[in-house]
A and B are shown apart, each in its own frame.
Chain A
Amino acid sequence: MTAEAAVALALVFLAGMSVGLQSALLGAIRMRRGVLGSTRISYAGTLAGGAAILAVQGGADRLHLLISAVAVGIALGLLIRGMPPAVAVVGLLGLFYITATGNGVTKLGVGVTVAAVVAGQMFASLLLDAGGALGMARRSMTLPRAAGAVLLVAGVALIRLG
């Protein structure tokens, strides 16, 4: 595997973990704001974050991106009033997910990318469960769950090799 492909694979796996954490956070926000409300908070963070990064990188549409980042950032601040400020990162997790998968598909193909995202998501869920994070019931690691984790890694490896 080239270094470029290895980096893309690692990023896609991390993107899967990030989307696992994102869906746990969105689940918590959904209890208070409903499906549309939580989805809006997530996408506002994605737009504001992406516009800010692209504006820093420069380019012809820099001014437009900067205005968008500030306006949507303010809207996001209003949307999450009454909730912990950390809620704002939920959209950045989504931004990382779609950016890393787009990059992954160009270097690894669709199958490996999708599989590695799934593996990352499951690992995040195992970690969140083991820690009893976000008010969820704590579930310890059991033998079947550990075997499941091994199968995920084996699955990604076989799809990559095949």
Chain B
Amino acid sequence: MSVPPRPQGLPLLVGFVLLIGIASGLQQFLLGVLARGGGALRAAMLSASVSVALLAVLLLARAARRVRGRKLVAELALVAVLAAAAIGFILVGGLGHPWYLYAAGAFGLMVVGGLAYSVPRLGTGPAITLLVAGQMAVSLLLDQIGLLGLARMPLSPLRFLGALLLLSGVVLILRKEHA
């Protein structure tokens, strides 16, 4: 699982993980907006259903390239069950929201895939620290604006300091110890 570091791509990778952090913060924000309307569990299920519908597309693409014969039939049946449950949930109980709320599920899937890609390349400590930095930046900004009916919580020196302390805590816990 160890992938050799590619220093020439480092700035790109750093920017990518910051974006993944922003996607994660946005997902939690959108889950909150959805939860206010119809309850937190239905919001979670709607987000997961969108994620699964998108994941099904990726699984089909992989199956088309790599799987053959009877295995392909079994694989297609499994993907069909997951996709049917997910799309069914969206169609039966999850229609009628503004389109951008469905992005929660897309952001969720991006975070899972993005971390699977970047953690082996950057190392857990740097990757998670960048992720948290992106998450905190976007979440304090969203509180400051108070979008889509959520309470406004202006950015203050105290909140900024809190985010810095949190980030330092992450760095201290995840840094490599040279014994």
Q: Which residues of A contact B5 (CB under 8 A)?
A: none
How many B residues face the partner with a CB closer than 8 A? 76
Would B55 and A151 count as touching, CB distance under 8 A?
no
Q: Is the CB of A53 within 8 A of B31?
A: no
1/0 per residue, CB under 8 A from B, across A90-101: the answer is 000011001111
Bound complex: CA of A46 vs CA of B86, how far in Å?
11
Separation of A106 and B51 alpha carbons in the complex (Å)? 22
Q: B160 to nearest A CB, angstroms?
A: 8
Cβ of B103 under 8 Å from chain A:
no
Residue A138 CB within 8 A of the other chain? no
* Listed residue (B108, B165, B171, B175) with the most chain A CB atoms within 10 angstroms of its CB: B165
Asked if A152 and B32 make an inter-chain contact with CB atoms under 8 angstroms apart, the answer reads no
A35 at the binding interface (Cβ < 8 Å): yes
Residue A87 interfacial (CB < 8 Å): no
Q: Tell me what chain B mostly uses at the interface: helix, strand, loop, or mixed.
A: helix
Contact for A110 among B43, B82, B150, B166, CB less than 8 A: B150
Residue of A50, A95, A113 near B28 (CB, 8 A) is A113
Could you say which residues of chain A place their CB within 8 Å of the CB of B78?
75, 78-79
Q: Is the CB of A47 within 8 A of B86?
A: yes
| CB-based contact A109/B81 at 8 Å | no
Number of interface residues of A (CB under 8 A): 71
A60–B42 CA distance with the chains assembled, in angstroms: 13
Q: Is A119 on the interface with B (CB-CB < 8 A)?
A: yes
Query: Bound complex: CA of A102 vs CA of B47, how far in Å?
Result: 10
* Distance A35 CA – B31 CA, assembled complex (angstroms): 24
Cβ-based interface call for A132 (8 A): no
Given contacts A105-B35, A113-B32, contact A68 B89 (CB under 8 A): yes
CB pair A51–B85 under 8 Å, yes or no, is yes
Complex: A68 Cα to B85 Cα, angstroms: 5
> In the docked arrangement, what's the CA distance between A149 and B168, Å?
10
- Judge if B69 is at the interface, Cβ distance under 8 Å: no
B4-36 CB contacts (< 8 Å) to partner A:
24-25, 27-29, 31-36
Which residues of the other chain, A, contact B35 by a CB distance below 8 angstroms?
A: 102-103, 105-106
Q: Which of B28, B93, B136 counts the most chain A CB atoms within 10 A?
A: B28
Asked if B123 is at the interface of the complex by the 8 Å CB criterion, the answer is no
Closest Cβ of chain A: how far from B117's Cβ, in Å? 8
- 1/0 contact string of A54-95 vs chain B (CB within 8 Å): 100101110011001001101100110000000000000011
Contacts of A95 in B (CB 8 A): 44, 48
- Residues of B at under 8 Å CB distance from A? 1, 24-25, 27-29, 31-36, 40-45, 47-49, 51-52, 55, 58-59, 62, 78, 81-82, 84-86, 88-89, 92-93, 108-109, 112-113, 115-117, 132, 135-136, 138-140, 142-143, 150-151, 153, 156-175, 177
